[in-house]
A and B are shown apart, each in its own frame.
Chain A
């Protein structure tokens, strides 16, 4: 292999890892929600779209830098998720299992159609000077917004781990995930824990939306694609397995990136789906899950 093709390989790999970081962020939110509530959030990508559109609107109206809008989007995403759990999912009671699928599908439709009414169907993007700038390291060109996205993901995931393993609240969240009845009997208000967890999951999706905004066009149904990607990530990593979701995200990013470079860019989304099907067929518990089915 000559040095140009080695550089190209690393270029593709780094790009895949950074994109994968974003997938990890999206997948972690979905997996966290599933792990604690056993709810599959079909509106996950639409919450990401909300993050993108808030960023877009703030930029258009007040010329606010996309990354600065994280200060608005993260709390707004958390609040939205918290309220959805409180006023929609908590009302489903014993029928949370099937009910939550329909409820989140419905919420997703409401979100995408509201975005369509408000912003129109045409793809829109943000023009910031640094959008196309790159940073060179050992011959590998790294796009600045992609690097920021990767770092942002790292911060969010490290923060989530600190929350889960270093705080009282985190212990209560893990307890609720492992045994809701046991947690409730220790005085944990599990309905509140679920609302916090749904809030965190939505905030993670919305943050991913912000980080994507300088890189991509957005349109009202942009979320669909990301809901699919979030599913792929969590299935690769094992549902409810947070380190698995991070690894699954990175794997998906790299598969897509290598596939696009070495086979064909037209099938970028297909590579992930092929990996998804293979994992479902061969290792349904996920690449990193235990072979025993966890309840």
Chain B
């Protein structure tokens, strides 16, 4: 497999590209951290974006969810520009973000956290139905519905964060390091959940440090190093790639 070769998915009709990023350059003040990165996610795809600390993967995600403005390049969701658009508007477009550290409302109950996910007027009509769907998807949360979010375990909190994002009826889910701070066993569980998001018809961009887990569940994966794209390809192929094995999977 050659790096940066167009993957099968990039031959699909450009209109099926739900998320599209081109020549993205991002800097924190004077320090540039992302250098001309391009990536796309097609309808229904589960795509990974991996790399070590400071590789710029979370930075790219923060541009897509409106928390950060890129210096140059484009970031679009369907026909909508995302760069410089405030987060609440991006959520309303249909791009939900499961943020790093989960960012739950700690003193609110699980159910209130989920209901906050359906705050947008366009999502209110389906709120009761979606709440039931989330409980069906995460049966463990049913018994915890009246528990304050801060009292849950890390894995349960991650489920609330994902459930809350689902409540906004998104087409695209951006996930920022969902495995962060979780026990290894819980990480596998969360990853299984992410894998099954496809069954809900979602398009997912998953940012993770845990390369092994990402390659197991995703269709394609982009690998970043120091703000530059170094590899892209079907995750199954990358799992056998000598460079990837050496740098990320260990032997």
What sequence of 0s and 1s flags, for each residue 164-188 of chain A, a beta carbon within 8 Å of any chain B beta carbon? 0000100110110011011111111
A190 CB within 8 Å of chain B: yes
Please state if A185 and B65 are interface contacts (CB–CB under 8 Å). yes
B35 CB within 8 Å of chain A: no
Please state if B119 and A179 are interface contacts (CB–CB under 8 Å). no
Q: B99: nearest residue on chain A (CB-CB)?
A: A185
Comparing B75-83, B86-94, B128-136, B224-232, the segment that makes contact with chain A is B86-94
Q: Which residues 32-78 of B sit at the A interface, judged by CB distance below 8 A?
A: 65, 67
Q: How far is the CB of A272 from chain B (nearest CB, A)?
A: 29
Within 8 Å CB of B88, what residues of A?
Answer: 184-190
Q: How many A-B residue pairs have CB under 8 A?
A: 66
B104 CB within 8 Å of chain A: yes
Please state if B119 and A184 are interface contacts (CB–CB under 8 Å). no
What sequence of 0s and 1s flags, for each residue 184-202 of chain A, a beta carbon within 8 Å of any chain B beta carbon? 1111111000000000000
Given contacts A171-B112, A181-B67, contact A188 B119 (CB under 8 A): yes
Instruction: State in angstroms the CA–CA spacing of A186 and B115 once bound together.
Output: 10
What sequence of 0s and 1s flags, for each residue 91-129 of chain B, a beta carbon within 8 Å of any chain A beta carbon? 110001101000111111000100111011001000000
Given contacts A175-B105, A179-B105, A181-B103, contact A186 B117 (CB under 8 A): yes
Q: Looking at chain A's contact residues, is the secondary structure mostly helix, strand, loop, or mixed?
A: helix
Instruction: State in angstroms the CA–CA spacing of A45 and B72 once bound together.
Output: 47
Within 8 Å CB of B115, what residues of A?
Answer: 171
B235 CB within 8 Å of chain A: no
Instruction: State in angstroms the CA–CA spacing of A252 and B96 once bound together.
Output: 47
Please state if B91 and A182 are interface contacts (CB–CB under 8 Å). no
B220 CB within 8 Å of chain A: no
Q: How far is the CB of B151 from chain A (nearest CB, A)?
A: 14
Q: B121: nearest residue on chain A (CB-CB)?
A: A187
Q: How far is the CB of A89 from chain B (nearest CB, A)?
A: 17
Contact of A168 among B92, B96, B106, B119 (CB under 8 A): B119
Given contacts A178-B106, A178-B108, contact A183 B116 (CB under 8 A): yes
B164 CB within 8 Å of chain A: yes
Given contacts A186-B91, A186-B168, A189-B88, contact A179 B120 (CB under 8 A): no
Q: How far is the CB of A188 from chain B (nearest CB, A)?
A: 6
Within 8 Å CB of A189, what residues of B?
Answer: 86, 88
Please state if A181 and B107 are interface contacts (CB–CB under 8 Å). no
Q: B150: nearest residue on chain A (CB-CB)?
A: A178
A contacts with B, residue count (CB < 8 A):
17
Contact of A178 among B67, B105, B119, B123 (CB under 8 A): B105
Q: Which of A168, A184, A188, A189 has the most CB of B within 10 A?
A: A184
Within 8 Å CB of B97, what residues of A?
Answer: 185
Q: Which of A172, A185, A190 has the most CB of B within 10 A?
A: A185
Q: Which of B86, B119, B120 has the most CB of A within 10 A?
A: B119
Please state if B106 and A186 are interface contacts (CB–CB under 8 Å). no
Q: B65: nearest residue on chain A (CB-CB)?
A: A185
Instruction: State in angstroms the CA–CA spacing of A185 and B173 once bound together.
Output: 12
Within 8 Å CB of A182, what residues of B?
Answer: 99, 103-105, 116
Please state if A179 and B91 are interface contacts (CB–CB under 8 Å). no
Within 8 Å CB of A185, what residues of B?
Answer: 65, 87-88, 91, 96-97, 99, 103
Instruction: State in angstroms the CA–CA spacing of A186 and B103 once bound together.
Output: 11
Within 8 Å CB of B92, what residues of A?
Answer: 187
Within 8 Å CB of B104, what residues of A?
Answer: 179, 182
Please state if A172 and B116 are interface contacts (CB–CB under 8 Å). yes
Please state if B91 and A187 are interface contacts (CB–CB under 8 Å). yes
Q: How far is the CB of A267 from chain B (nearest CB, A)?
A: 39
Please state if A174 and B105 are interface contacts (CB–CB under 8 Å). yes
Contact of A186 among B67, B86, B119 (CB under 8 A): B119
Cβ contacts A to B, 30 pairs, < 8 Å: A171-B108, A171-B115, A171-B119, A172-B116, A175-B105, A175-B119, A178-B105, A178-B107, A178-B108, A179-B103, A179-B105, A181-B67, A182-B103, A182-B116, A184-B88, A185-B65, A185-B91, A185-B97, A185-B99, A185-B103, A186-B91, A186-B117, A186-B119, A186-B120, A186-B168, A187-B88, A187-B120, A187-B168, A188-B88, A188-B119
Q: Report which A residues bind B (CB closer than 8 A).
A: 168, 171-172, 174-175, 178-179, 181-190
**Knowing that A168-B119, A171-B115, A179-B104 are A-B contacts, what are 14 other residue pairs whose CB atoms are under 8 Å apart, sorted by A's residue number?**
A171-B119, A174-B105, A179-B105, A179-B106, A181-B87, A183-B105, A183-B116, A185-B87, A185-B88, A185-B103, A187-B92, A187-B168, A188-B116, A188-B119
